[in-house]
Amino acid sequence: MQLHLEVKNIAGTLHFDNKKNQLIRTIEDKVEGLPDPFLQVFNQKIQLEKWLLQNKFPRMPLEHLVVISNPSTIIKTTQYIPELIHNGNIPLKVQQLTQRYKFEHLPTKELKKRSSRLLKKHTPADPDILKLFSINQSELLRGVFCYQCSTVGMKRLSAKWECPSCHFSSKDAHLETLQDYALLIDRFITNQKLRNFLHISSRSTSTRLLKSMQMKHSGSTKGRVYELPLKEVQ
């Protein structure tokens, strides 16, 4: 058995209308329609079945669950949906499904082969966030973010960043701001683009910052392009 989990972290009251394949959320007296996660998980199931067939893997049962990860979310349905649960019910559901499929459909060796192939073919999602939300780059606030008071525009003074609002100082505050750059604009950056985004006037200062980060890079000194690392989400 293979189990699909479509996890949603949505606050408020969720009303699942499984007759119309519609999800309606109510929060702070605001009502809005959201994509139906059951349609999402069903499409994923079809895609996986097609992929298994194309790669000549034997068929096996495919189960799915839609999991609401926010424990305070209230779930309402037009009728009982056994595949819809809060995240705290995952262990119980897995145990129930394990009981349903007691006999072995595939040997361990075949499962490992299938898992290895899936991981090898996996392509991480890399959406264009600005395009997705119709935001122009010119609308972004530039400068180093102070995570003490949320001011944007820390100043580089004596090998550290200092906030003009709360006077908080940090040696590596630029790292979080460059994470924003990587996620919102591009994984690759030049010296000039770094200066523009962090509001640094000195090329030598930006060069020292780039060297201290020890990033992968390509190209000559003037046209050198650096690859910004992305932190793993905990």
Using 50, 70 and 90 to split pLDDT, how confident is the model at 131?
Answer: confident
User: How far is C-alpha 196 from the geometric centre of its chain's CA atoms?
Assistant: 26
Q: Note whether 61 and 101 are within 8 A (CB).
A: yes
What does the alpha-carbon distance between residue 188 and residue 126 come to, in Å, rounded to a whole number?
14
Domain extents in the chain = 2-121, 129-227
pLDDT for 164 equals 94
pLDDT digits (tens, 9 = 90+) for 100-109: 887 666 777 8
Give the pair of three-digit tokens for residue 205. 């200062």
What does the alpha-carbon distance between residue 183 and residue 128 come to, in Å, rounded to a whole number?
9
pLDDT digits (tens, 9 = 90+) for 184-202: 999 999 999 999 999 999 9
DSSP state of 139: G
Q: Which amino acid is at 136?
A: N
- Is the domain spanning 129-227 CATH 3.30.450? The answer is no
What does the alpha-carbon distance between residue 135 and residue 182 come to, in Å, rounded to a whole number?
16
pLDDT digits (tens, 9 = 90+) for 140-173: 999 999 988 989 999 999 889 999 999 999 999 9
pLDDT digits (tens, 9 = 90+) for 6-54: 999 999 999 998 888 889 999 988 999 998 999 999 998 888 888 888 8
pLDDT for 105 equals 64
